[in-house]
Chains A and B, each alone.
Chain A
Amino acid sequence: MHNTKTNEKTEEQEETMLMPKPSESLHQANSPHQPKRIRRILRSLISTAPFVPLLIFLFIGIFGPALAPYDWDHQENFLFNASGDIISVSPHEPSAEHVLGTDEWGYDYLTRLLYGARYTILGTLFAALFRSAAAFFIGLQRGINKGNFHRNRSSKRFNKKGLLGKYGKPLKSGKSRNSQQGFSITTAIPVFIIMYFVLFGINFNPQWSPLTMAVIQFGFLSFLGIPAVIPVFEKKTRILMNSPFIEAAEATGASTWDLIKTHLYPHMKELTLIVCLQEIISVLTVLGQLGIFYIFAGGTILTRRPPVYISKTYEWGGLIGRYRGYFNAEQSWLLFAPLGLYLIYFLSAYLASRTAELRLSKTFKESPKI
């Protein structure tokens, strides 16, 4: 042990000795290494570029209200000219004063959308992070158990413990593992419909504050999405658990925590990022679908005569649902403004997710034999 350290020191010293003097280093940096370094910096900048739009949206989500041109309560039902005559009754169309116009009640639409961004952006991020984190830990735990089983197939200990599961059973002839997944009535019902039923009783004219409502809604949304993500982490863990380096680590006495910290997590970092980004898209989709059915994040105000569904928070998905019939209307900005923002946010998340996905798939690409 001592000898090794001494050797290392010697090598370090040798390296230091071999390093060029400052003057030499500068001289070399100016000639052949300079373009390489610039290229490397450029490459790293380009590789992080797809994540920039998402970061901008994160910034808008956090500081949206501070960026808003007006206060939340600022209302202009009428616009007047210099001589004091009424020139417009709300909703006012986009102008220099109101870049995205106003809504039916004269509230500045850009301001309201920036306030609503907190729910759309931070809500989806929170739900995606929660889903990914929960699925990661559950998948990891299940993968470790099943991975251990596969390695110790003959071990009676695992059979006694009942860790066989469906992966331990022999397959029926002619059937793939996927085909053995059973049918359940609940698979016929999409997640947003379950959300609809759960929230129906409390979402219209809610007694709770928009924040409480949003926490409940996004909490449910996160919870319902976890089962779909668990198999991704479980499968990856199982593959890793059967790798020779894990066996070697276990043979040298590594504990489960050591395995997770040193081997499993570093191999699953990219996958976790991809899943998280994909879940942003998934949550955003459900948010929009719920909006189509008038279940708005933060609560829905329902007027009685005439029955009008109004989003309490001006969350973007809800506004699309509320104004979905305004394609051809004079106030089409009421639909196109939230629709545009929703689509740009969706594209940002998609771009980041796809970039991460492509980077990972390049590493494990197999070529066809014919």
Chain B
Amino acid sequence: MISHVSLLLRVTGSILLLLLILTAPALTVQSAEGVYINPAAPVQQLQRLIEDLQNGEFFSYTAGKMERDIRRTLPRYFSISLFYVSLSLVFSLLAGLLTGIITAKNSSRGTAEILSFFSALPDFIIVLILQLISITMFQHFGVRLGRIAYFSMNSYFMILPFTTMIITSVTFMVRSVSNHTRTILSQDYILFAKSKGLSKNIIYRRHIIPGLCSQLHGEIHKFISIGIGTLFIVERLFNIPGITRMLFSYGFTYIFDMDVKEGFFQPNFNVALVSILSLSIIYALCYLLFSAILHIIKKAGTHA
């Protein structure tokens, strides 16, 4: 009972915090007289949102001079973001698991250093370097590594965004798997299993992999967070029409009137809310997917 109440409180708290973050741009107002805080702004935004829900205007928003319907445009943005995040993270999870276990015992100092460096390197720097390499390769050798920006709505797949997302997430996964495997390998029960005459293969399948999957389950949140964080940068720098692009292109617009020297904040609050909620759904779907993958690996290891 207590856990349900606590869960309810947490979810409510998270939603309230989310609404506060989304209405934060309207909270501060700049004018010729100075900067002031409009504490009523979040409440006004929420009231407008509820009114829109009642009169059926919740799903419409303006994109330039066009009137659009979220229900029609959202699936496209959602599917592109989900495609990039899930595919790159699944690849990173599996590749990270395999590489991490192999490198746990035999990794040279150099491999560890390279992984550590790439996991620290900012995602936007990786994008810029990849774009630079692509341009240089094409100009000097005529080799086309991949498109450096998204042009067509008909083609989903772009190799450079995937490479960026894989680099940021796979380095985290390999390091994590490697560290956990090393910790498990140094445990006394492994020595006990070895002294009983169990083969390396069985020790790995029955002790190390299940233990590793349990440990990794606790790190899924961080793993997906890395993926979602990179998605914002990747969609921005490669001009990919995903959820984050929808959020930044149509969720908020800032207009500054030079004549009266006043900035106007023009929100499509419904778009911002739907975008963030969609991201949360992508997050939850990824969480379920990775939990299932880890569960299958764990069971397969134990029963094989």
A interface residues (Cβ-Cβ under 8 A, vs B): 174-190, 192-194, 197-198, 200-202, 204-208, 281, 284-285, 288-289, 292-293, 302, 304, 320, 324, 327-328, 339, 342-343, 346, 350, 354, 366-370
A369 to B18, CA, bound (A): 47
Contacts of A184 in B (CB 8 A): 10, 14
Given contacts A200-B25, A205-B263, A346-B125, 8 further A-B contacts (CB under 8 A): A179-B217, A186-B21, A188-B283, A206-B30, A289-B122, A327-B135, A368-B182, A370-B185
A187 to B284, CA, bound (A): 11
Residue contact B228 to A185, C-beta cutoff 8 Å: no
Residue contact B190 to A369, C-beta cutoff 8 Å: yes
Contacts of B95 in A (CB 8 A): none
List B108-132 residues whose CB lies under 8 Å from chain A: 113, 116-117, 120-125, 128, 131-132
Contacts of A289 in B (CB 8 A): 122-124, 232-233
Given A187-B221, A206-B30, residue A182 in contact with residue B124 (CB < 8 A): no
A205 to B265, CA, bound (A): 13
Contact among B7, B18, B218 with A186 in the assembled complex (CB-CB below 8 Å): B18
Is the C-beta of B205 less than 8 angstroms from some C-beta in chain A? no
Residue contact A281 to B120, C-beta cutoff 8 Å: yes
A183 to B218, CA, bound (A): 11
Given A188-B283, A288-B125, residue A208 in contact with residue B186 (CB < 8 A): no
Contacts of B188 in A (CB 8 A): 369
Best-buried of A175, A193, A324, A343 by chain B (most CB within 10 Å): A193
Q: Which residue of B lies closest to A190 (CB)?
A: B229
A185 to B261, CA, bound (A): 37
B interface residues (Cβ-Cβ under 8 A, vs A): 7, 10-11, 14-15, 17-18, 21-22, 24-30, 34-35, 104-105, 113, 116-117, 120-125, 128, 131-132, 135, 182-183, 185-188, 190-191, 194, 200, 203, 214-215, 217-219, 221, 224-225, 228-229, 232-233, 236-237, 248, 252, 254, 256-258, 261, 263, 265, 276, 279-280, 282-284, 287
Residue contact A185 to B27, C-beta cutoff 8 Å: no
A235 to B29, CA, bound (A): 42
Contact among B28, B183, B218 with A178 in the assembled complex (CB-CB below 8 Å): B218
Residue contact B18 to A185, C-beta cutoff 8 Å: yes
Q: For chain B, what secondary structure do more than half of its interface residues adopt (helix, strand, loop), or is it mixed? A: helix
A357 to B180, CA, bound (A): 18
Residue contact B25 to A178, C-beta cutoff 8 Å: no
Residue contact A324 to B35, C-beta cutoff 8 Å: no
Residue contact A304 to B256, C-beta cutoff 8 Å: yes
CB of A285, distance to nearest CB on chain B (Å): 4
Q: Which residue of A lies closest to B231 (CB)?
A: A190
Contacts of A183 in B (CB 8 A): 221, 284, 287
A174 to B29, CA, bound (A): 52
Residue contact B186 to A369, C-beta cutoff 8 Å: yes
CB of B96, distance to nearest CB on chain A (Å): 17
Given A184-B14, A327-B131, residue A207 in contact with residue B105 (CB < 8 A): no
Question: 6 nearest interchain CB pairs?
Answer: A178-B218, A368-B185, A201-B28, A200-B25, A190-B229, A188-B283
Contact among B10, B22, B117 with A350 in the assembled complex (CB-CB below 8 Å): B117
Given A302-B254, A328-B135, residue A205 in contact with residue B30 (CB < 8 A): yes
Residue contact A178 to B215, C-beta cutoff 8 Å: yes
Residue contact B219 to A207, C-beta cutoff 8 Å: no
Contact among A201, A288, A293, A346 with B265 in the assembled complex (CB-CB below 8 Å): A201
Best-buried of A201, A206, A207, A368 by chain B (most CB within 10 Å): A201
Contacts of B256 in A (CB 8 A): 204-205, 302, 304
A187 to B228, CA, bound (A): 10
Residue contact B25 to A324, C-beta cutoff 8 Å: no
Residue contact A181 to B187, C-beta cutoff 8 Å: no
Residue contact A200 to B30, C-beta cutoff 8 Å: no
A180 to B217, CA, bound (A): 9
Contacts of B221 in A (CB 8 A): 181, 183, 187
Contacts of A368 in B (CB 8 A): 104-105, 182, 185-186, 190
Residue contact A200 to B35, C-beta cutoff 8 Å: no
A177 to B203, CA, bound (A): 23
Residue contact B21 to A197, C-beta cutoff 8 Å: yes
Q: List 10 A-B contacts (CB under 8 A).
A: A179-B218, A185-B276, A186-B17, A188-B276, A189-B21, A190-B232, A200-B265, A324-B128, A342-B125, A368-B105
A58 to B111, CA, bound (A): 31
Residue contact A189 to B276, C-beta cutoff 8 Å: yes
Contacts of A342 in B (CB 8 A): 125
Contacts of B30 in A (CB 8 A): 201-202, 204-207
A181 to B11, CA, bound (A): 14
Residue contact B225 to A187, C-beta cutoff 8 Å: yes
CB of A338, distance to nearest CB on chain B (Å): 11
Best-buried of A187, A198, A206, A320 by chain B (most CB within 10 Å): A187
Contacts of A304 in B (CB 8 A): 256-258
Q: Which residue of A lies closest to B252 (CB)?
A: A200
A320 to B123, CA, bound (A): 13
Contacts of A177 in B (CB 8 A): 218
Residue contact B26 to A346, C-beta cutoff 8 Å: no
Residue contact B124 to A188, C-beta cutoff 8 Å: no
Given A183-B221, A194-B21, A289-B122, residue A188 in contact with residue B132 (CB < 8 A): no
